[in-house]
Chains A and B, each alone.
Chain A
Amino acid sequence: MSTSTTLEEPKTGTWDGGNEPLKASYGKLMMWFFLLSDAFTFAAFLIVYGLSRHSHLPYTGSPEEFQFSTEWWPIPEKVFNAFPGFHGVDLPLAFVALMTMILILSSVTMVLAVEAGHRMDKNDVQKWLLWTILFGGTFLGCQAWEWTHFIVGTEEGMLLADGTRIFGANMTMNQYGPPLFANLFFFITGFHGFHVTVGWILLVIAFISTVNGVYHKRGHYEMVEKIGLYWHFVDLVWVFVFTFFYLI
C-alpha cells in the first residue's frame, strides 16, 4: 500500500497567487483605483460643462465688442482677466497662468520629495515637502482671491433690459452670462479646490511624520509616495480644468 501522496505542483504563474502581478504595493494600487474613480467624477463635471456650453447660444460677434449677457455663453478670457493689485486692467488669463505655474511647480517639488524618500534622505524629504506645502497653500490662496473676485464682480456689472445692473455671481444670478456658467464654475473649481485642500492637509501630516522620523523608522517613505500620487492627480485635473474652462 502506497502511503505517498502526490503533492500538487505549486502554481507559479503570474495570476496564480503568491506573487504580486502588478508589482505594486496594496496601498499604491488602492490609491491608483481611487484616483481612477475620482477621474470619472471630474470627467463627468467637465463633460457636463461641454454639454451645457453646446446647448447654449455661443457668442458670434467680434471679441473686441464682447458684452456680458445672459443670452450667450461668455468668452472665458473676458471673464477671468483680473489680477490682484491691477484693478481695472484687462489682463486676460494672467492670474490663471500664475496659478497653473504654481501648481506645476508644487508637483515638481512633490516628485523630488518622493525621490528623496527612495534614497532614505530624511532632510531632503522634509525640504521638498515643505516647498510643496508652500506652493499648495499659495495656490489655495490664489483660488480664494479668484472666487472672491468672481462673486463680488466687476465695477460695470451687467446691464439688464430694465436699466438695472447686477454685479458678480452666485447660484441664481450671474453678471458674466447664463447662471449655469457660474454654477459650473463653483462646482468644478470648488471640487478641485476641495481636493487641493485635502491634499494639503495630507502633506502637512506627512511633513510632521517625516520630522518625527515615523517613515524612517518604518524603513520606507511609501506614504509620501501615495500622497504624491494624489497630489499629481490634483495637478493633472487642473491641467484639464485649465484647458476646458479657461482656454476653450
Chain B
Amino acid sequence: MAAHSDHSNEFQQTGEIPKAQTKVIWKTFFILVALTAVEFLFAFTMDAGTLRNAIFIILTVFKAFYIVAEFMHLKHETKALIWSIILPMALVMWLMVALISEGSYYFDSIRNYFN
C-alpha cells in the first residue's frame, strides 16, 4: 500500500547538514588530559604536603573551569545565569573552611585532653 509511508521522511532535512565544528571540543579535551597528567606527575615526584595539595587543588579548579565553561557551555550563557550558578557555589567555600578547621580543632582537643 502506497499510503504506508514513513513519516520521518516528511521531516527530513532539505539541504546539506553543516560541517561539524569540533576544534574547540578537542582542544578542551587535550587541556583536561594534560592537566590530569600533570597531577599524576606531581603525585609521583613530589612528597606529600601542603604545597602539593595546593597544586592539586589549583589544577582541579582549572579542570572544573574547562568542563563547566566549555563542555557545559556556561561561558557562553548570559551573565545573570553565570552568576546565579557561580555565586551559590562560592558560598560553599566558606562551609569548607569552617568545617575543616572545626575538624582540626576537634582533633587537637581530643589529643590534648589530658595535657
A residues in contact (CB < 8 Å) with B? 21-24, 29, 32, 36, 39-40, 43-44, 47-48, 50-57, 63, 75, 77, 92-93, 97, 100-101, 104-105, 107-108, 110-112, 115-116, 119-121, 124, 213, 216-217, 219, 228-229, 232-233, 235-236, 239-240, 243, 247-248
**Which chain B residues border A52 with CB–CB below 8 Å?**
103
CB-based nearest A residue for B63: A239
In Å, the complex CA distance between A155 and B18 comes to: 57
In Å, the complex CA distance between A196 and B11 comes to: 33
B67 A243 Cβ-Cβ under 8 A: no
**Which chain B residues border A116 with CB–CB below 8 Å?**
20
**Which chain A residues border B13 with CB–CB below 8 Å?**
120
Q: Which of A21, A32, A216, A243 contacts B57 (CB 8 A)?
A: A243
Q: How far is the CB of A36 from chain B (nearest CB, A)?
A: 6
Give the interface residue-count category, chain B: 35 or more
**Which chain B residues border A111 with CB–CB below 8 Å?**
25, 70-71
In Å, the complex CA distance between A216 and B57 comes to: 42
Interface 1/0 per residue, B24-63 and A, CB below 8 Å: 0110110011001001100110011000010011011001
Is B1 part of the binding interface, using a Cβ–Cβ cutoff of 8 Å?
no
Chief secondary structure at chain A's binding surface: helix
A63 B99 Cβ-Cβ under 8 A: no
Q: How far is the CB of B39 from chain A (nearest CB, A)?
A: 6
A24 B63 Cβ-Cβ under 8 A: no
A23 B77 Cβ-Cβ under 8 A: yes
**Which chain A residues border B107 with CB–CB below 8 Å?**
54-57
**Which chain A residues border B11 with CB–CB below 8 Å?**
213, 216-217, 219
In Å, the complex CA distance between A101 and B63 comes to: 13
Known A-B contacts A50-B100, A229-B72; A104 and B64 likewise in contact (beta carbons under 8 Å): no
B32 A104 Cβ-Cβ under 8 A: yes
In Å, the complex CA distance between A57 and B22 comes to: 49
B68 A236 Cβ-Cβ under 8 A: yes
**Which chain B residues border A63 with CB–CB below 8 Å?**
47-48
B8 A213 Cβ-Cβ under 8 A: yes
B68 A54 Cβ-Cβ under 8 A: no
Q: Which of B51-95 contact A (CB under 8 A)?
A: 53, 56-57, 59-60, 63-64, 67-68, 70-72, 77-78, 80-81, 84-85, 88-89, 92, 95
Q: How far is the CB of A90 from chain B (nearest CB, A)?
A: 12
| CB pairs A–B below 8 angstroms (18 shown) | A21-B80, A36-B89, A39-B89, A47-B95, A48-B99, A51-B100, A55-B110, A56-B107, A101-B36, A104-B36, A108-B28, A217-B8, A217-B11, A232-B72, A236-B72, A243-B39, A248-B56, A248-B57
In Å, the complex CA distance between A56 and B106 comes to: 9
B81 A51 Cβ-Cβ under 8 A: no
**Which chain B residues border A23 with CB–CB below 8 Å?**
77-78, 81
